[in-house]
Amino acid sequence: MVDRSSIKEAVQSAIEQAPPRKFRESVDITINLRNIDMAQPKNRIDETILLPNGFNDIKIAVLGKGDITTQAKEAGVDLIIGPDEIERLGGEPREARKMANEYRFFLAETAVMPLVGRYLGVRLGPRGRMPMPIPPGADIRPIVQRLRKSVKIRTKDKKTFHTKVGETDMAPEQIAENVDAVLHKVEGVLEGGTMNIRSVYVKTTMGPAVRLI
C-alpha cells in the first residue's frame, strides 16, 4: 500500500490544482477494483470506517421517543423523528427520499424499528441508511461522537466507489491520515488485498483527479 507521504503529496496536488471557489469543497477518493466478482455478495464492501480526523457536515438522525431524544438533543444530532413522524413520512415519498439522501447515519430505538421498516425501509434500505438499533438504556452520545468521525462504504455490485475523506480547509496531513485509514480498511476486507485494487484517485468536488495508486 502507498505510504503516508505519497498520499499527502497527492492530496496537496489535488487541492492546489482545484480552481478557486468561494465555498469549502469536499475532498474525495475514488477506488477502482479489479480481479473480483462483485456479483457475489461475499465480495461486496459494506463498512463504516472510523477516521482519525472528522469533518463538519456528517448529518445524523435519531428515531424514537423519550430518553433517546433527550440524549440526541444533548449530543447535538441534526434531526429527531418521533413515531408519528415516521408514519407520516411513509406517506410522503419525496420528503422521505430527501431525508434519506441528506442524513448519513440513522439511529433508532429498538421499539420503533418495526415502524421504520414498514414506513421508511423502502427509502433507507437501498441507500444503505437503515438505522442502527439502539436498545433501551443505551447511551447514544458516544455513538454519535464516533459516527461524526466516520464514513460508510457500500459497494453493492460496482467495482468503482467513492467516499469523502476531508474538506479543503483541513490540513493535507489530516486528510492523508483519513485516506490511509480508508485504504487500510478496504485492503483488509478484500479477499486479494492490494491485488484487488486497480487504482485510487483523490480530488476536490470540482477539481481534477490526481492518481494515488
User: What 3-state DSSP class applies to 95?
Assistant: helix
Other CB atoms within 10 Å distance of the CB of residue 43: 18
Look at residue 168 in the predicted model and tell me its pLDDT. Answer: 93
Q: In what order do the strands lie in the sheet with 210-211?
A: 160-167, 26-33, 197-204, 210-211
Q: What would the mean pLDDT of 108-119 be, rounded to a whole number? A: 97
Question: Of the candidates 153, 197, 149, which has an alpha carbon nearest to the alpha carbon of residue 174?
Answer: 149
Provide CATH code, domain 4-55+150-211: 3.30.190.20
60-147 and 4-55+150-211 share a CATH fold: no
pLDDT at 2 over 90: no
**Structural domain boundaries of the chain?**
4-55+150-211, 60-147
Could you give the percent of the chain with pLDDT greater than 90?
92
Q: Is the distance from CB of 89 to CB of 99 less than 8 angstroms?
A: yes
177, amino acid identity: E
In CATH, which of 3.30.1130.10, 3.40.50.620, 3.40.50.790, 2.40.50.140 is domain 60-147? 3.40.50.790
